[in-house]
Amino acid sequence: MKSFSSTSFASDQAELLAIAQAAVSRNPQALFTDFQWFLYKGSDTVFYTAFSRQGFDKESVSNLVAEMVTLAPQLTHGFVGAKPGQPFPKHVLDAITSVETVESFDGYPDKWLSKSEDIFERNDLPLFRVMVAVRRDGADEQGRVSCIQVRSSHALLEGSDSALLTRSQSASHGVMSDKSNKIDFGSRFKSTLRGWMTAIIYITLGNLLAPPEKPWGFRTLALGRHRLRRLANRLGVRQRSLMFALVTHALNGEGEDRHMSKKVIGAAYTMLDTKRNNADDDFFRVRALEAKFQVLDDFVAYVRKVDETVGQIEQKDITKFQVTINAMFRALRSINRIIPALPNKRFWRFNAGMHIVLTLVPPHRTYGPITHGMIEPIYCGAWHSAANICTFCPGRDYVTLSFSMETRHIDNVGKIEALLDRVEAMDIPPAPAVPAIG
């Protein structure tokens, strides 16, 4: 995992604030980059949830939100009446926070997980919510007094922001593209052309081939981090390759009972990269990569094949795919300005044959006042209308997996830990030797 520092590139903050105030008075999403706009229009959402040894009331939750907004000022963007960078008045804090009393934490956090459609119901409120459940009788046998969940439009927060906030560090983005590292004109032109072609093709195919809305489910799973590290070392693979393989192999099923594909699982996965350029999005740090995992019945052979595939992808220039995707977002936004009805609802349900999105967020380790009292495991996840998503969140002791996907896949989540048990008990043959080069 590469650095996820909040460092951005130089900009005149006073000038930007003045521009921001004028822009949002005309268009609440005026400050959104093309990538942010895309996630906002698709109503994509993310969540963060953890248990705490502390109790909360309405006032202390409002104080927590005030601290969050100070560290992540982008939370003040994107709604009617927004004042970028300014604290929220009390009536706004009251509207976006909630506290409830519960008898136990049985079923949490899964019973809370949803598409978070309520975030978009009112255009005059911030695009996030903070909810807390407090146990009536105080701490349970695990020392948990409350459960906290932050839900947000994906346009405002990404995994690295969540990791920074967990450490009570600034998650302010500034300008994330490096204007001094310029992609040559020919490459930019080709990427722009590919972006427009991709946008037009996706809109067309989306209207022709988009499936009907499907039953959706949410589930979480916590695995010991040391357990995964030890098995990855035994297999001779990267830890992320092991996690990708466990999830895709278990969800896909075996033999004739394949849920995703009998031959190749199409996956998108994300990682961070500090080598920025002038074609990068000005808000998001994340890079998207595209992978195809060959389906094999033997898990040991499969995980090693996944590791080989991941290695080959990451040896290439990982910026190329993201630059094309950014160009597609720009094209879609331009089309929307001309024809506001596009992209339509069918477009958002089209996934172009992608079976699963695998998101590995930076390590979440609690530190400082904003997460005082919070305990592992910590869960992060996302929802998108067309994507089966598994989000991996490493902590000190656990790696949590948060699933947002069709219910037919959710039913197979229980097979992941059983698969892990079975592989750990195997007499694993050593990895084939890699031939020397040269």
Same domain as 111, residue 49: yes
Same domain as 277, residue 396: yes
Evaluate whether residue 410 is within a structural domain. Answer: yes
Same domain as 305, residue 419: yes
pTM of this prediction? 0.91
- In this prediction, residue 176 carries a pLDDT of 63
CA–CA dist 48, 56 (Å, integer)? 17
Tens of pLDDT along 84-132? 889 999 999 999 999 999 999 999 999 999 999 999 999 999 999 999 9
Evaluate whether residue 13 is within a structural domain. Answer: no
On the 0-12 / 13-18 / 19+ scale of CB atoms within 10 A, 399 is buried
Tens of pLDDT along 217-260? 999 999 999 999 999 999 999 999 999 999 999 999 887 778 89
Evaluate whether residue 158 is within a structural domain. Answer: yes
152 bridge partner residues: 46, 128
Q: What domain count does the chain have?
A: 2
Evaluate whether residue 381 is within a structural domain. Answer: yes
Q: Which two tokens stand for residue 299?
A: 């898990």
- In this prediction, residue 13 carries a pLDDT of 47
**179 to 74, 176, 281: CA distances (angstroms):** 21, 9, 11
- In this prediction, residue 259 carries a pLDDT of 85
Same domain as 419, residue 275: yes
Distance of CA 393 to the CA centre of its chain: 10
**63 to 53, 129, 369: CA distances (angstroms):** 17, 14, 11
Same domain as 363, residue 228: yes
Same domain as 369, residue 224: yes
Same domain as 160, residue 219: no
CA atoms within 13 A on the CB side of 329: 23
- In this prediction, residue 6 carries a pLDDT of 45
Q: Which of 20, 51, 3 is nearest to 148 (CA)?
A: 51
Same domain as 75, residue 222: no
CA–CA dist 344, 59 (Å, integer)? 41
Place of tokens 């592992």: 376
Residue type at position 279 = A
Structural domain boundaries enclosing 51: 32-166
pLDDT < 50 stretches in the chain: 1-3, 6, 9-13, 434-438
Domain boundary among 166, 182, 201: 166
389 bridge partner residues: 357, 404
Domain boundary among 150, 166, 182: 166
The CATH number of residue 301's host domain is 3.30.559.30
Same domain as 254, residue 161: no
Domain boundary among 142, 166, 190: 166
CA–CA dist 302, 304 (Å, integer)? 5
- DSSP-based three-state secondary structure for 254: coil
Place of tokens 């949830």: 49
Q: Which two tokens stand for residue 185?
A: 């004109």
Supply angle C-alpha 383, 385, 386, rounded to 5. 110
Place of tokens 């350029």: 277
Evaluate whether residue 1 is within a structural domain. Answer: no
Same domain as 160, residue 41: yes
Same domain as 240, residue 155: no
**Contact (CB, 8 A) for 127 and 84:** no
Same domain as 138, residue 39: yes
User: Which ranges in 356-413 belong to alpha helices (H)?
Assistant: 407-410
Evaluate whether residue 40 is within a structural domain. Answer: yes
Supply angle C-alpha 75, 170, 128, rounded to 5. 20
Q: Which two tokens stand for residue 11?
A: 């900009």
The CATH number of residue 83's host domain is 3.30.559.10
CA–CA dist 193, 213 (Å, integer)? 31
Evaluate whether residue 231 is within a structural domain. Answer: yes
Q: Which of 226, 141, 143, 231 is nearest to 397 (CA)?
A: 226
Residue type at position 254 = E
Evaluate whether residue 390 is within a structural domain. Answer: yes
CA–CA dist 221, 379 (Å, integer)? 9
